[in-house]
Amino acid sequence: MDVASDPSGHDKQALREALLAYNRSQAGDQHFKELTIWLRDDQQRIMGGVIGSTYWGWLLVEFLWVDERIRDRGYGRLLLTTAEREAMRQGCRHACLETFSFQAPTFYEKLGYVAFGVLDDFPGRHRRHSLKKDFPTPSTEGGPA
């Protein structure tokens, strides 16, 4: 056993590749793609963004952030809906993400995300929320035919 507080990139990549190979053998090619969207100001400074990925028909939002100076102007919604549209363009049918109680669970709920799990004491008096959203299928987007 080797506990590594600073593992090498090579070792981490070897573990990732081994797990991905196993996953492919069980569930098929995941069609993994990174998805990153930046919000920049006139000087090209990052003022917000989304970091995530798409695979197996899901959008996984790892990070969504908007600079405090420009919050409450719709940029968070714009970033997330842009990521969702791109994920749907890639064939995704669902999205999932996690957020803390001190961040924005109600923001995501207003955009159609539904909680499917909560961890208490994460950290301390806070909670970690897991949320998901099902995207409309092409046959239901426009309503009844």
What residue ranges do the domains of the chain occupy?
29-134
Token readout for 10 is 């090579």
- List, for residues 88-107, the tens digit of each pLDDT value: 999 999 999 999 999 999 99
E strand spans, the chain: 33-40, 46-55, 58-66, 94-100, 114-120, 127-134
Identity at 69, one-letter amino acid code: R
pLDDT of residue 137: 84
- List, for residues 61-87, the tens digit of each pLDDT value: 999 999 999 999 999 999 999 999 999
pTM above 0.85, yes or no: yes
**29-134: in CATH 3.40.630.30:** yes
